[in-house]
């Protein structure tokens, strides 16, 4: 597996574009399209928030189809809490793109991100569609990544290539989300985070769903910026088969290679999201090891990642390791604190449930001055581990979110 430069058009047969439709008051690009030149199988994972945005509902429904070729996405408007009109508008977005691409509207998936409770200006989307379609190209991945941004400060793209037999499979993606970010997404078979992944792998729809499900578990679902779950969280993947590899139709052979590459890519993009959290000055990685089960490790790591007190302490370079212990203990996971160890970077803070003899507050303060902060918690209860990612809480976070809808 190798990492290469690029985005959603790195895989064979994918085109993209992003244009200004006039949805964002700022006048920035706000309407994007990802298109496969041939029919592709697709899978998606969506928010478990009971208040689901209209595009989430429509895309879940459309994914019941066998093949898909396009994803249309707007930023600047969440199309959420708009009643039946919101559903109608999401369908109209798909229909409009489908008509221009000469596709059935059910072959088009839809995503939106932005302010909740504001009617989507579909007329602006319709007017911008000719320009959006005319500019489709393999060189427009950066435009796509830029267009989906809301309060993000930088584009987030990632590409990996993996050899399967005599073929090379490419997986490319783009994502956004730096606020209202605490995804808990599930595949349809069982600010906002949006992720779009394209691959030229030949793989069955069932195996693509399973691979995405596995990848989500230890990547996007382990990110938290502020603990607030969005109404619009969505992750899409399309696979068009143009790499020419032997079709993956069972959990054997190349399925493992493909899933490993997808997991790695999703984890790297998840870290990008956390690092660009609203007002963030530090990326925080929390590793929990020695758990009885993988689920226990995930629950403890994620609980620690949602501690606002810890995130404030790290911003202020305060070596308050007690906040880590308190969060772990409130996770609902059973473990013996008298066996627990905690490290902040290279410094051991807790040893077998008591402050470490060599704990040095000034060494911790010095470590916390860096941009990357790693925390390790060893429960000494088993062999399972997990990682979660978050960021610190700065004064700028408050400023951004007190003025977001003005």
Residue pLDDT, tens place only, 189-206: 434 689 999 999 999 999
Reference 106, options 59, 37, 73; nearest CA is 59
Distance CA 97, CA 109 (A): 10
Rounded to the nearest angstrom, the gap between the alpha carbon of residue 73 and the centroid of all alpha carbons in its chain is 15
pLDDT tens digits for 289-325?
Answer: 999 999 999 999 999 999 999 999 999 999 999 999 9
Neighbouring C-beta atoms of residue 239, cutoff 10 Å: 29
DSSP 332-361: S----GGG-EEEETTEEEEETTEE-TT--H
Read off the tokens for 16: 């993209």
Distance CA 213, CA 70 (A): 21
pLDDT for 132 equals: 98
Reference 207, options 165, 262, 248; nearest CA is 248
Neighbouring C-beta atoms of residue 190, cutoff 10 Å: 6
Residue with tokens 């969005």: 230
Rounded to the nearest angstrom, the gap between the alpha carbon of residue 116 and the centroid of all alpha carbons in its chain is 19
Q: What pairs with residue 169 in β-bridges?
A: 162
Is 248 exposed, middle or buried (CB count within 10 Å of its CB: 0-12, 13-18, 19+)?
A: buried
Distance CA 152, CA 280 (A): 11
Distance CA 350, CA 339 (A): 10
Contact between 68 and 40 (Cβ < 8 Å):
yes
Is 3.10.20.340 the CATH classification of the domain at 283-402? yes
pLDDT for 192 equals: 60
Is 138 exposed, middle or buried (CB count within 10 Å of its CB: 0-12, 13-18, 19+)?
A: middle
Contact between 233 and 183 (Cβ < 8 Å):
yes
Distance CA 161, CA 171 (A): 6
pTM: predicted TM-score of the whole model, two decimal places: 0.90
Distance between terminal CA atoms of the chain? 45
Which segments of the chain have a pLDDT < 50? Answer: 180-181, 188-191
* 192 given a catalytic annotation: yes
Read off the tokens for 258: 């493909």
Give residue limits of the domains in the chain.
Answer: 2-275, 283-402
pLDDT for 396 equals: 79
Q: What is the DSSP letter of 17?
A: E
Catalytic residue (one of 192, 306, 376, 390): 192
Domains 2-275 and 283-402 share a fold: no
Per CATH, the number for 2-275 is: 3.60.70.12
Distance CA 19, CA 97 (A): 14
pLDDT for 150 equals: 87
Distance CA 152, CA 155 (A): 7
pLDDT for 194 equals: 92
pLDDT for 219 equals: 92
Neighbouring C-beta atoms of residue 217, cutoff 10 Å: 19
Read off the tokens for 231: 């109404």
Rounded to the nearest angstrom, the gap between the alpha carbon of residue 173 and the centroid of all alpha carbons in its chain is 10
Contact between 49 and 231 (Cβ < 8 Å):
yes
């Amino acid at each position: 597996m190798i990492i290469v430069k690029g985005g959603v058009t790195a895989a064979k047969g994918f085109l993209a574009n992003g244009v200004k439709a006039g949805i964002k008051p700022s006048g920035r690009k706000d309407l994007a399209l990802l298109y496969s030149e041939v029919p592709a199988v697709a899978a998606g994972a969506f928010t478990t928030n009971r208040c689901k945005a209209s595009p989430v509902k429509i895309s879940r429904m459309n994914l019941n189809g066998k093949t898909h070729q396009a994803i249309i996405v707007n930023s600047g408007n969440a199309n959420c809490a708009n009643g039946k009109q919101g559903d109608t508008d999401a369908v109209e977005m798909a229909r409009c793109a489908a008509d221009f691409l000469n596709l059935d509207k059910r072959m088009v998936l839809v995503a939106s991100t932005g302010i909740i409770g504001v009617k989507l200006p579909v007329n602006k989307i319709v007017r911008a569609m000719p320009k959006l379609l005319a500019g489709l190209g393999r060189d427009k991945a950066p435009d796509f990544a830029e267009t989906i941004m809301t309060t993000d400060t930088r584009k987030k793209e990632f590409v990996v290539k993996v050899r399967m037999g005599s073929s090379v499979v490419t997986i490319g993606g783009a994502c956004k989300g730096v606020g209202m970010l605490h995804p808990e997404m599930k595949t349809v078979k069982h600010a906002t985070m949006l992720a779009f992944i394209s691959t030229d792998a030949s793989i069955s729809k069932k195996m693509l769903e399973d691979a995405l499900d596995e990848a989500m578990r230890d990547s996007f679902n382990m990110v938290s910026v502020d603990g607030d779950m969005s109404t619009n969280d969505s992750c899409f993947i399309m696979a068009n088969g143009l790499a020419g590899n032997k079709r993956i139709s069972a959990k054997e052979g190349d399925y493992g290679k493909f899933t490993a590459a997808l997991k790695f890519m999703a984890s790297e993009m998840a870290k990008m999201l956390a690092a660009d959290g609203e007002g963030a000055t530090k990326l925080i990685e929390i590793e929990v090891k020695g758990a009885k089960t993988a689920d226990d490790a995930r629950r403890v790591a994620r609980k620690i990642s949602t501690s606002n007190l810890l995130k404030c302490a790290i911003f202020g370079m305060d070596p308050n390791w007690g906040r880590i212990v308190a969060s772990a203990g409130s996770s609902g996971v059973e473990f013996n604190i008298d066996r627990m160890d905690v490290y902040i970077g290279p410094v051991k803070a807790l040893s077998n449930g008591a402050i470490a003899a060599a704990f040095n507050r000034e060494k911790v303060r010095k470590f916390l001055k860096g941009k990357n902060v790693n925390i390790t918690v060893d429960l000494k209860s088993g062999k399972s581990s997990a990682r979660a990612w978050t960021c610190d809480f700065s004064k700028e976070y408050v400023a951004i979110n007190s003025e977001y809808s003005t």
